[in-house]
Amino acid sequence: MKELSDYIREINDFPKEGIQFKDITTLLQDPKGTELCLNTLLELLDGEKIDKVVGMESRGFFFGTLLAQKLNAGFVPVRKKGKLPYTTINEVYALEYGTDTIEIHIDAIKKGERVLIHDDVLATGGTAKATCKLIERLGGEIVQCNFIMKLDFLNGEEKLSGYNVKSALSY
Ligand code: AMP
């Protein structure tokens, strides 16, 4: 039987030299792989009640939406600056060179709502940390940050210390 890691394609030197890109399009192409991934992510949550699943642009949208549907929760996209049409709040975070800005709609999370954060890959943790800040500014309670994969050599989990971080696979 195929394992979850078998569905993920690794591409060397994309988008630049030295990066090994974890490609989930091969996982998404396969309904068995997608089901396996979704069930694994749900198991990591261990039955916690969730009001909103927040997915990060753009690969966090795929399983974020599927998770929300399974959990009978709403889905909320966090997007790069300038993409969301309604009133937003934003967070600026550091990249290797320069900064990036992500946004969330101001009415996307209500005070006290229980939130699951989801993305495909936890790398340095910058995106996830900024997402946590956005949710907390809106009064949401972060139940778990959940990823398909985490890249341990980039220490993203350290940046998320204090949060419940779970990942289906570790590299
Ligand atoms: P970071 O903020 O450094 O944790 O980066 C997380 C974001 O970058 C996620 O949205 C990932 O989709 C993407 N990402 C970072 N590294 C990789 C990688 N090696 N393969 C695929 N996606 C990656």
pLDDT tens for residues 4-17?
999 999 999 999 99
Q: Identify the DSSP state of 152.
A: G
158 catalytic per annotation: no
Mutate to test the pocket of ligand 1, among 121, 124, 169 (most ligand atoms within 8 A of CB): 121
Q: Is 38 left (phi over 0), alpha (psi -120 to 50) or beta?
A: alpha
Give the strand pairing for 20-23 and 88-94: unpaired
What proportion of the chain, given as a percentage, has pLDDT over 70?
A: 100
Residue among 118, 113, 120, 143 at smallest CA distance from 131: 118
**Residue matched to tokens 């320069």:** 98
Cα 109 to averaged position of ligand 1 atoms, centre (Å):
24
Q: Which of 19-28, 94-103, 162-171 has the lowest mean pLDDT?
A: 94-103
- State whether the beta carbon of 118 lies less than 6 angstroms from ligand 1: no
Of 9, 48, 91, 96, which is the active-site residue? 96
114 Cα: distance to centroid of ligand 1 (angstroms): 24
Q: Decide which of 3.40.50.150, 3.40.50.2020, 3.30.420.40, 3.40.50.300 is the CATH code for 47-170.
A: 3.40.50.2020
23-64, pLDDT tens digit by residue?
A: 999 999 999 999 999 999 999 999 999 999 999 999 999 999
